[in-house]
Amino acid sequence: MIYALFADMAVADNGSRQGKVRLTKWYSPYTQKERSKVIRELSGVILTRGPKLCNFVEWRGYKVVYKRYASLYFCMCIDQEDNELEILEIIHHYVEILDRYFGSVCELDLIFNFHKAYYILDEILIAGELQESSKKTVARLIAAQDSLVETAKEQASSISNIIAQATK
Amino acid sequence: MALSGMRGLSVFISDIRNCPNKEQERLRVDKELGNIRTRFKNEKGLSPYEKKKYVWKMLYIYMLGYDVDFGHMEAVSLISAPKYPEKQVGYIVTSCLLNENHDFLRLAINTVRNDIIGRNETFQCLALTMVGNIGGREFAESLAPDVQKLIISSSCRPLVRKKAALCLLRLYRKNPDVVNVDGWADRMAQLLDERDLGVLTSSMSLLVALVSNNHEAYWSCLPKCDVPQEYTYYGIPSPWLQVKTMRALQYFPTVEDPNTRRSLFEVLQRILMGTDVVKNVNKNNASHAVLFEALALVMHLDAEKEMMSQCIALLGKFIAVREPNIRYLGLENMTRMLMVTDVHDIIKRHQAQIITSLKDPDISIRRRALDLLYGMCDVSNAKDIVEELLQYLSTADFAMREELSLKAAILAEKFAPDLSWYVDVILQLIDKAGDFVSDDIWFRVVQFVTNNEDLQPYAAAKAREYLDKPAIHETMVKVSAYLLGEYSHLLARRPGCSPKEIFSIIHEKLPTVSMSTVAILLSTYAKILMHTQPADPELQNQIWAIFNKYESCIEVEIQQRAVEYFALSRKGAALMDILAEMPKFPERQSSLIKKAEDVEVDTAEQSAIKLRAQQQQTSTALVVADQSSANGTSPVNQLGLVKVPSMSSSVIYSSKWDFDQSRSSTSTSSPSPSPDLLGDLLGPLAIEGPPVAGESEQNVVSGLEGVAAVDAAAIVPVTVQTNAVEPIGNIAERFHALCLKDSGVLYEDPYVQIGIKAEWRGHHGRLVLFLGNKNTSPLFSVQALILPPSHLKMELSLVPETIPPRAQVQCPLEVMNLRPSRDVAVLDFSYKFNTNMVNVKLRLPAVLNKFLQPITVSAEEFFPQWRSLSGPPLKLQEVVRGVRPMPLLEMANLFNSCHLIVCPGLDPNPNNLVASTTFYSESTRAMLCLTRIETDPADRTQLRMTVASGDPTLTFELKEFIKEQLVSIPIAPRPPAPVPPTPSVAQPVPPAAPSNDPGAMLAGLL
For the segment B866-905, what is each residue's pLDDT rounded down to a tens digit? 888 877 888 888 888 888 888 888 888 888 888 888 888 7
Nearest CA of chain A to the CA of B387: how many Å? 26
- Residue B332 — pLDDT band, cuts 50, 70, 90? very high
Nearest to B324 among A52, A86, A141 (CB): A52
Helix%, strand%, coil% for chain B, nearest 5: 60, 10, 30
Contact B85 A84 (CB under 8 A): no
pLDDT at B365: 93
Nearest CA of chain B to the CA of A7: how many Å? 11
Output the CA–CA distances (angstroms, integers) from residue B99 to A28, B46, B141, B763, in the order listed.
8, 26, 17, 18
* Residues contacting B285, CB < 8 A, separation 6+: A85, A88, A89, A92, B325
Contact A137 B238 (CB under 8 A): no
- Residue-by-residue DSSP string for B898-922: TT-EE-TTSSSSTTEEEEEEEEEET
Any binding-site annotation on B7?
yes
Q: Which of residues 216-245 of B touch A (CB under 8 A)?
A: 231, 233, 238-241, 243
* Residues contacting B211, CB < 8 A, separation 6+: B218, B221, B248, B251, B252
Nearest to B159 among A21, A88, A141 (CB): A141
Task: Indicate whether A81 belongs to any domain.
Answer: yes
Nearest to A112 among B10, B129, B325 (CB): B10
B289 inside 8 A of chain A by CB: yes
Element (H, E) at B657: helix B651-669
- Residue B632 — pLDDT band, cuts 50, 70, 90? very low
Element (H, E) at A5: strand A2-10
B279 inside 8 A of chain A by CB: no
CATH 1.20.1440 correct for B377-578: no
- Is the pLDDT at B580 greater than 60, yes or no? yes
Residues of A in contact with B366 (CB under 8 A): none
- Is the pLDDT at B723 greater than 60, yes or no? no
Could you tell me which of B576, B560, B582 has the C-alpha nearest to residue B654?
B582
Residues of B in contact with A53 (CB under 8 A): 324, 361-362, 364-365
What CATH number does residue A102 fall under? 3.30.450.60
Residues of B in contact with A119 (CB under 8 A): 88, 92
Contact A54 B169 (CB under 8 A): no
Task: Indicate whether A113 belongs to any domain.
Answer: yes
Contact A56 B289 (CB under 8 A): no
Which residue, among B150, B362, B400, B764, would best test binding to A if mutated, counting the most A CBs under 10 Å from its CB?
B362
pLDDT at B596: 61
Any binding-site annotation on B8?
yes
Cα angle B441-B445-B451, degrees, rounded to a multiple of 5 = 140
* Residues contacting B186, CB < 8 A, separation 6+: B220
B321 inside 8 A of chain A by CB: no
Closest chain B residue to the Cα of A52, Cα to Cα? B324
Nearest to A21 among B65, B89, B602 (CB): B65
* Residues contacting B584, CB < 8 A, separation 6+: B450, B451, B628, B631, B633, B637, B662
pLDDT at A55: 93
Asked, as a colleague might, if the bond just before B952 is cis with ω within 30 of 0, I would say no
Mean pLDDT, residues B262-274:
86
Residues of A in contact with B16 (CB under 8 A): none
Q: What residue spans define the domains of chain B?
A: 1-97, 377-578, 712-849, 851-966
Contact A54 B159 (CB under 8 A): no
Any binding-site annotation on B610?
no
pLDDT at A56: 94
Residues of A in contact with B134 (CB under 8 A): 29
Task: Indicate whether A77 belongs to any domain.
Answer: yes
How many angstroms separate the CA atoms of B616 and B903, rounded?
Answer: 48
Mean pLDDT, residues A12-22:
59
A130 inside 8 A of chain B by CB: yes
A41 inside 8 A of chain B by CB: no
Contact A54 B5 (CB under 8 A): no
* Residues contacting B365, CB < 8 A, separation 6+: A53, A54, B324, B327, B328, B331, B357
How many angstroms separate the CA atoms of B44 and B42, rounded?
Answer: 5
Nearest to B604 among A36, A61, A153 (CB): A61
- Is the pLDDT at B403 greater than 70, yes or no? yes
- Residue-by-residue DSSP string for B664-708: HHHHHHTTS-HHHHHHHHHSS--SSSHHHHHHHHHHHHHHHHT-H
A18 inside 8 A of chain B by CB: no
Any binding-site annotation on B549?
no
* Start-to-end CA span in chain A (Å): 58
**Helix residue ranges per DSSP H, chain A:** 32-46, 84-102, 107-112, 114-124, 135-167
pLDDT at A64: 92
What digits encode the pLDDT tens for the residues B822-854?
Answer: 888 888 888 887 777 888 888 888 888 888 888
A to B CB pairs, distance under 8 Å = 188
A90 inside 8 A of chain B by CB: yes
Residues of B in contact with A117 (CB under 8 A): none
Q: Identify the CATH homologous superfamily for domain B851-966.
A: TATA-Binding Protein (3.30.310.10)
- Is the pLDDT at B969 greater than 70, yes or no? no
Contact A118 B92 (CB under 8 A): yes
Task: Indicate whether A108 belongs to any domain.
Answer: yes
Nearest to B132 among A24, A127, A141 (CB): A127
- Residue-by-residue DSSP string for B937-979: TTEEEEEEEEEEESSHHHHHHHHHHHHHHHHH-TTSSSPPTT-
Output the CA–CA distances (angstroms, integers) from residue B557 to B509, B514, B645, in the order listed.
19, 13, 19
Nearest to B231 among A32, A113, A133 (CB): A133
Of A137-151, B162-176, B942-956, B960-974, which gets the smallest average pLDDT? B960-974
Residue-range definition of the domain harbouring residue A17: 2-133
CATH number assigned to the domain covering B712-849:
2.60.40.1230
What digits encode the pLDDT tens for the residues B469-501?
Answer: 888 888 899 999 999 888 888 887 788 788 888
A157 inside 8 A of chain B by CB: no
Contact B233 A36 (CB under 8 A): no
Nearest to A126 among B167, B327, B362 (CB): B167
Task: Indicate whether A158 belongs to any domain.
Answer: no
- Residue A8 — pLDDT band, cuts 50, 70, 90? low
Residues of B in contact with A98 (CB under 8 A): none
Residues of A in contact with B197 (CB under 8 A): 132-134
Could you tell me which of B476, B491, B492, B560 has the C-alpha nearest to residue B526?
B560
pLDDT at B326: 92
Any binding-site annotation on B53?
yes
- Residue B631 — pLDDT band, cuts 50, 70, 90? very low
Burial of B68 (0-12, 13-18, 19+ CB in 10 A): buried
* Count of beta carbons in the 10 Å neighbourhood of residue B730: 14
Amino acid (one-letter) located at A77: C
Task: Indicate whether A70 belongs to any domain.
Answer: yes
A15 inside 8 A of chain B by CB: no
- Is the pLDDT at A84 greater than 90, yes or no? yes
How many angstroms separate the CA atoms of A6 and A24, rounded?
Answer: 4
- Is the pLDDT at B651 greater than 70, yes or no? no
Cα angle B822-B825-B831, degrees, rounded to a multiple of 5 = 160
**Signed CA dihedral, B689, B694, B697, B702: sign only:** negative
Mean pLDDT, residues B808-835:
85
Nearest CA of chain B to the CA of A168: how many Å? 20
Residues of B in contact with A58 (CB under 8 A): 364, 367, 604-605
Return mean pLDDT, chain B. Answer: 77
A68 inside 8 A of chain B by CB: no
Nearest to B325 among A25, A30, A54 (CB): A54
ipTM over 0.85: yes
What digits encode the pLDDT tens for the residues B194-227?
Answer: 888 889 899 999 988 888 887 777 777 766 666 6
What digits encode the pLDDT tens for the residues B583-596?
Answer: 777 766 566 666 66
| Whether B595 contacts B759, CB under 8 Å | no
Closest chain B residue to the Cα of A39, Cα to Cα? B65
| Whether B578 contacts B656, CB under 8 Å | yes
Contact A60 B163 (CB under 8 A): no
Percent of chain B with pLDDT over 70: 80
Number of domains present in the structure of chain A: 1
Percent of chain B with pLDDT over 90: 8
Mean pLDDT, residues B164-168:
93
Which residue, among B285, B319, B329, would best test binding to A if mutated, counting the most A CBs under 10 Å from its CB?
B285
How many angstroms separate the CA atoms of A57 and B887, rounded?
Answer: 53
Higher per-residue pLDDT: B650 or B225: B225
Output the CA–CA distances (angstroms, integers) from residue A80 to B476, B605, B757, in the order listed.
37, 9, 25
Task: Indicate whether A141 belongs to any domain.
Answer: no
Return mean pLDDT, chain A. Answer: 83
Any binding-site annotation on B570?
no
Element (H, E) at B770: strand B764-773
Q: Would you give the DSSP letter of residue B204?
A: H
pLDDT at B595: 62
Entry field: residues in chain A: 168
Nearest CA of chain B to the CA of A32: how many Å? 8
How many angstroms separate the CA atoms of B874 and B927, rounded?
Answer: 12
B255 inside 8 A of chain A by CB: no
Any binding-site annotation on B55?
yes
pLDDT at B985: 42
What digits encode the pLDDT tens for the residues B27-76?
Answer: 999 999 998 888 888 767 777 788 888 889 999 998 888 888 888 888 88
pLDDT at B66: 85
Bridge-based pairing of strands B852-854 and B925-936 is: unpaired
Higher per-residue pLDDT: B605 or B947: B947
Output the CA–CA distances (angstroms, integers) from residue B677 to B46, B685, B801, in the order listed.
91, 11, 25
Task: Indicate whether A85 belongs to any domain.
Answer: yes
